[in-house]
Structure 1
Amino acid sequence: MSKPLGKWQLRALILCAGLLLALGQAPFSFPIGVVVGLPVLGGLLLRTADWRSGFRLGWLAGTAYFAGSMFWIVEPFFVEPEIYGWMAPFALLFLAVGLGLFWGLGFGVAACCSGKARLVALVASLTLAEFLRAHVFTGFPWGLLAYIWSETPVFQLLAYIGPHGLGMVTVAIGVLPLIWSNRWLRGATLLVTLLAAWGIGAVRLPEGPPALRDVTLRLVQPNAEQRLKWHPDHVARFFQRSLSLSAGFDAPVDVVIWPETALPFPYGEHPRGMDMVRAAVPDTQFIGGIQRPNGPELYNTLIHLDRNGDVAATYDKHHLVPFGEYVPLADLAARFGIYGMAAQDGTGFAAGKGPRIIDRPGLPPYLPMICYEAIFPGYAQVQGQRPEWLLHITNDAWFGSFSGPYQHLVQSRARAVEQGLPLARAANTGVSAMISPYGQVLQALALNTDGFVDVRLPEPLAPTPYSRFGERIWLALALLLLAGAALSRPRPQARPHAATRVRAQGREASNRH
């Protein structure tokens, strides 16, 4: 019989399991945590005494997972380190510990069940906890377990059950084999479930390249370093770079696309700047990001110019980044010198009205998303309408150069798979890319390089099950699993009546004599 682990050994084991799961997120994209980390956590869950110890297990594992996968969160604070640098370690600590609470909730609920039913409950409760994380307090669905599969065919299951459904499948693959006592049965179950998920995804993937439309987009990547992007000595240089990358076509281009806030002047306040854009892209449509003042409010906006250079449409970002584009309790925070980092006037942005499809002559109708909005699956569609492609403009220079931009790219790819729609992505420092409806990167510009790429727009696929049913499929299954696990909990035995106890004690006394 193996010696029980000491308290610190146990904690180290939990932390290692969480960090192994974190290796599944980009740029590593190594899903070893599913077959090693999750089984370890599932086995420890079976040994927990009560919901409190289950909560501590999940909280510690979640804290390690989020610290290991979200360490890029410190990067925005070092864009202006003299102002925000002191916040960086607190941001990572509070983020990891705070997000870990959701995992604690999932494991704590599962620990309320008995025996092997805890494993079934964990499949549902951890998925529901992750769903809550994606929605409460404005939501923060970075690092979902589904994204662990981004470099495998399993990623295609997003088209059927979405990111939370795939997250539930991920937990099931890792912990349900522990239901068997025999280690060979455990290994066989793990292998069969993993191969089944892999096979279903592989069947969906096409044998050849996707069909392309006769529509060409130019994605421009100016590579404006964030700490210099708004510096008076560099603004004109970056603007001129974007203009140069946009001008001149070897073949017809239908639209030129610039990233988020790539136009360095407020909308309506620099006619000469807009004339320079029109001159660079004559007889071609133009889409780009700009800051748009409207009275006392400021919006993070996408502007669409038609072939004549007239404003054909605008779209205002509606889901803002907390502490980046606005500050909760802004008046109180301002007393301590805390302002939204992305707004140049220090007042923060106002929120737009919500997702909308832009349909203009000469281009298939598209649904725009600005930066942070691409991490939310629900924003990639409009109820009752379907675009023919998705457009994501972003400024990932805030996220550094190691993991943040690549994780954001994975999330853009996920939106394409979920909806069965191609997605064009223009990012300030990268990665700018054309993404197929299967989430494949067809053409791209490398991170931290300036340039452009002319790409043809792929054809959309038929609506996916996820685009039709949303979260209902996995949610119904999760609730059924949780209810089944709860019902399996043994009922406490009622204490015998006092008279019965007296008679039993009398019989025991007689037997002794």
Structure 2
Amino acid sequence: MRGITQFSGWIILLSGWRRALMAFLAGALATLALPPYDFFAVCLIAFPVLVWLIDGAVDTANGGFMRRVLPSAVVGWWFGFGYFLAGLWWIGAALLVDAQNFAWALPLAVVGLPAFLALFYALAVLIARCLWSDGLGRIFALAFGFGVAEWLRSFVLTGFPWNAIGYAAMPTPMLMQSDGVVGLFAMNALAVLVFAMPGLLADRRHRRAGLVLALVLVAAHVGFGFYRLHDAPTVAEESTGVRLRIVQPSIAQDMKWDDGARRAIFDKLIALTGTSPAPGQSKPAVIVWPETAIPYILTRTPEALVRIGEALSDGQVLLAGAVREEEGVPSPLYYNSIYAISDRGEIIGAADKEHLVPFGEYLPLEKWLRALGLQEVVEMPGGFSAAMSRHSLKVNDHLAFLPLICYEAIFPAGLGYSGPRATAILNVTNDAWYGDTPGPYQHFRQAQLRAVEQGLPLIRAANNGLSAVVDPYGRITDGLALDAVGIIDASLPSPIDPFWGKPPGSVETWTVLMVLLAISCGYAVLSRRRFD
């Protein structure tokens, strides 16, 4: 342990740009715990380094409260900046699809967004510093701070909880089961609690208690996952008997809205839809196309509906991503939608996207920003309009889906809906914007966890991947690789009851956070009494 003690001492004594650089590198290192790398052990290095940096971030001047805590908040910001810059750099790829119009915004997306998101981690460390004490108490304080910050990140300014820390602790289905008990926001805090515990290796007095607690939490996490999956039905046993087909066409993003390519895109989708099933397999009852797959406004192009009806066999239903147009004043409204289309070429249902992407699908402060010449990335007059509420998409009397379009699947909260009870989650998306980068893998992992939380299988159709069928335990039953062209023919897994009878929510989140807060406060009080 002497080497760790020396190393921690060196970290604590860093100052100025060296301390900022170390925090930045620790945050960047932590992103290796995220998909597609899933090397979660790096967090057992990154977070102890953060603990030691906070230990050393003390203003020696006899100033006020902010003078005492501000150096720690700066450390938190640099840690967050490294984490979000290394984890979200691929967002810039979307702006290069139409580089002529949007390349100028690359610094804002690649550097500006991480710089903004880093403010949440600065807040996390600021909260922790207010409760800081020696030994084990400061680890609980850091976990509480990150738990609150990640919760805020899920809804402030419409929210962007992408790459929440908790995902680093859930790289496999066995390690995902705890999420169905306490939910992502509590998992964020508990993950930091465990990841930061090796910071006590340099503390002889609290080392043993901290490591024992970490081992107990890890054993509970792994043990519950093993028990849950051991008791779960096999993939063959859990089938509803409903056959479905997912179509992954892998259309290049720069072709999707090309007028000259529309017919070829539509022909490709129709051809994949009509592919004969493997010998011995029945025809699928439900066929799923990705987000905005239909290259036409269907209300203006009835011949497209006719072709869809001709391509479907008797009783088949197509669930297809499309742009839906609605009469509006003074101009039409456009929605990012999923249509349900019958074998007669009739639209029998539709679900619109409720949670739109700022600057991607709509322009915040539209009046002022349009006056400056800005526009949203998606090529749609006036951008998309948001649905007023979410409702299930009914296919028949026995089958309904919870529709999540694109990045709606990254939000663990606010997934309530009206209408018939959902049999599965339907996530349609188009990640071709981001090419072969970590983005599509990160997006898929987050959708995968929604299945575990909701107790519903996930049917995911992505334009260029990753398309998959995932059971309610988070196990992938079938899938297609990134940029593959093809179909998935699979049986729809059966839903299960969530652990508490409903998905984990605020009760589970705040129970965990309040326990962490109480322990942090207790240690802080004891620590101050000891030095009084």
TM-score, with structure 1 as normaliser: 0.90
Q: Equivalent pairs: percent with the same residue? A: 32
Matches within 5 A, 1:59-458: 59-116=77-134, 117-152=137-172, 153-176=174-197, 178=199, 181-182=203-204, 183=207, 186-206=210-230, 209-210=234-235, 211-250=238-277, 251-283=282-314, 284-295=316-327, 296-345=332-381, 347-361=382-396, 363-382=398-417, 386-458=421-493
Structure 2: gaps of 5 or more residues: 1-5, 59-67
CA distance in 2, matches of 1:363, 1:79: 41
| CA shift in 2, pair 1:29/1:165, >3 Å | same
| CA shift in 2, pair 1:469/1:222, >3 Å | closer
Between 1:481-490 and 1:108-117, the stretch displaced more is 481-490
CA distance in 1, matches of 2:246, 2:21: 46
| CA shift in 2, pair 1:379/1:282, >3 Å | farther
Cα displacement (A) at 1:166: 1.1
**Paired residue type of 1:339:** Q
| CA shift in 2, pair 1:56/1:6, >3 Å | closer
Please tell me whether the aligned partners of residues 161 and 465 of structure 1 are also in contact (alpha carbons under 8 angstroms): no
**Paired residue type of 2:347:** V
Matched position secondary structure for 2:260: coil
Name the Cα RMSD after superposition: 2.2
Please tell me whether the aligned partners of residues 150 and 410 of structure 1 are also in contact (alpha carbons under 8 angstroms): no
**Paired residue type of 2:380:** Q
CA distance in 2, matches of 1:383, 1:290: 22
Cα displacement (A) at 1:464: 2.6
| CA shift in 2, pair 1:300/1:384, >3 Å | closer
Please tell me whether the aligned partners of residues 318 and 341 of structure 2 are also in contact (alpha carbons under 8 angstroms): yes
CA shift digits 1:160-180 (9 cap, x unpaired): 011111111101102245457
CA distance in 2, matches of 1:382, 1:67: 34
CA shift digits 1:123-160 (9 cap, x unpaired): 11211111101111000010011211342322221110
Please tell me whether the aligned partners of residues 97 and 254 of structure 2 are also in contact (alpha carbons under 8 angstroms): yes
**Paired residue type of 2:24:** L
CA distance in 1, matches of 2:416, 2:477: 22
Please tell me whether the aligned partners of residues 218 and 255 of structure 1 are also in contact (alpha carbons under 8 angstroms): yes
Map of 1:498 onto structure 2: none
CA distance in 2, matches of 1:465, 1:37: 34
CA shift digits 1:176-234 (9 cap, x unpaired): 45457225665554444323322222221246632112101110111111011111221
CA distance in 1, matches of 2:420, 2:318: 24
Cα displacement (A) at 1:469: 4.3
Please tell me whether the aligned partners of residues 454 and 503 of structure 2 are also in contact (alpha carbons under 8 angstroms): no
Cα displacement (A) at 1:391: 0.5
CA distance in 1, matches of 2:132, 2:119: 22
Cα displacement (A) at 1:413: 0.3
CA shift digits 1:222-268 (9 cap, x unpaired): 11110111112212111110000001433221011111111111131
CA distance in 1, matches of 2:53, 2:442: 29
Matched position secondary structure for 1:52: helix
Please tell me whether the aligned partners of residues 247 and 290 of structure 2 are also in contact (alpha carbons under 8 angstroms): yes
CA distance in 1, matches of 2:421, 2:457: 12
CA distance in 2, matches of 1:132, 1:386: 29
Cα displacement (A) at 1:277: 0.9
Matched position secondary structure for 1:455: strand
Aligned residues: 492
Rg (Cα) greater in structure: 1
Please tell me whether the aligned partners of residues 456 and 472 of structure 2 are also in contact (alpha carbons under 8 angstroms): yes
CA distance in 2, matches of 1:94, 1:263: 34
Map of 1:500 onto structure 2: none
**Paired residue type of 2:38:** S
CA distance in 1, matches of 2:471, 2:515: 35
CA distance in 1, matches of 2:38, 2:450: 18
Map of 1:505 onto structure 2: none
Please tell me whether the aligned partners of residues 343 and 349 of structure 1 are also in contact (alpha carbons under 8 angstroms): no
CA shift digits 1:85-106 (9 cap, x unpaired): 1111221111111101001001
| CA shift in 2, pair 1:237/1:384, >3 Å | closer
Matched position secondary structure for 1:205: helix
CA distance in 2, matches of 1:8, 1:102: 21
Please tell me whether the aligned partners of residues 380 and 415 of structure 1 are also in contact (alpha carbons under 8 angstroms): no
CA distance in 1, matches of 2:145, 2:182: 17
Please tell me whether the aligned partners of residues 219 and 256 of structure 1 are also in contact (alpha carbons under 8 angstroms): yes
Please tell me whether the aligned partners of residues 368 and 392 of structure 1 are also in contact (alpha carbons under 8 angstroms): yes
Please tell me whether the aligned partners of residues 177 and 185 of structure 1 are also in contact (alpha carbons under 8 angstroms): no
Please tell me whether the aligned partners of residues 380 and 390 of structure 1 are also in contact (alpha carbons under 8 angstroms): no
Matched position secondary structure for 2:502: helix
Please tell me whether the aligned partners of residues 375 and 411 of structure 1 are also in contact (alpha carbons under 8 angstroms): yes
**Paired residue type of 1:336:** L
Please tell me whether the aligned partners of residues 218 and 455 of structure 1 are also in contact (alpha carbons under 8 angstroms): yes
Aligned with residue 475 of structure 1, among 473, 485, 510: 510
CA distance in 2, matches of 1:324, 1:205: 39
| CA shift in 2, pair 1:282/1:171, >3 Å | same
**Paired residue type of 2:19:** L
Structure 1: gaps of 5 or more residues: 494-513
Please tell me whether the aligned partners of residues 373 and 379 of structure 1 are also in contact (alpha carbons under 8 angstroms): no
Please tell me whether the aligned partners of residues 44 and 198 of structure 2 are also in contact (alpha carbons under 8 angstroms): no
